[in-house]
Amino acid sequence: MNMLPGPAQAAAIGLSIAFPLLLLCYARIAATGGSGRRFRLGCVSILALYAIVCIALPGQRHLDDVLGGLLLLGTAMMFCYILFSLLAWGFTLTLLTALVQAERPLTLEQWAEAYMQGGDLGTFTHNRLKLLVGAGMVITAGDRLAPTAKGVAVARLVRLVRLSTGLG
């Protein structure tokens, strides 16, 4: 068994380790925008660096080495995105931080208010609905909500994924 990665794979492992560090650096540059935009910028930067490394490395390139490196980079990006999105958009985690920041016991209603930083759960509902409406999965007609054909297809896909991953 050969445990040594190829040159491109070794570069991809290095870039995978550098990826969160790059996100830390981008967080200090205001021009990089909000969380989502900064993450996308980080992904593009790392892929560009990988392309440069693949061109600049001496010797002949092997397809399996380059492909393996690309897959390793993809793995690191998805791993970081899962953690990043949990920090940025995690509902349960933010509930916990809101309770701790309040520094006193809260009733359910007070907790909801602290979570929304003065707003209410209606604001939260509208924020999540804006995502569904913006993605073309739900339409609003007056006070009523209805899924679009795309929304129904996504819902079926979600059910299939839940079933096939054992979530039922």
Site for another protein in 6-25 (CB under 8 A): 6, 9, 23-24
Residues 47-76 that bind another protein (CB under 8 A): 64, 67-69, 71-72, 74-75
Query: For 15, what's the count of Cα atoms within 13 Å in the CB-facing half-sphere?
Result: 27
The reply on whether position 129 binds another protein by CB under 8 A is yes
Per-residue contact flags (x/-) with another protein for residues 84 to 123, judged by CB under 8 A: x--xxxxxxxxxxxxxxx---xxxx--xx---xx---xxx
Neighbours of 43 (CB within 10 A): 19
Q: If binding is defined by CB under 8 A, does position 38 make contact with another protein?
A: yes
Among 35, 45, 47, 113, binds another protein (CB under 8 A): 35
**Cα separation of 165 and 149, whole Å?**
24
Q: Residue type for 66, please?
A: V
Binder of another protein out of 48, 52, 127, 136 (CB under 8 A): 127
User: Cα–Cα distance between 18 and 45 in angstroms, integer?
Assistant: 11
How many whole angstroms separate alpha carbon 109 and alpha carbon 22? 39
Please, which residue, 47 or 106, has the CB nearer to another protein? Answer: 106
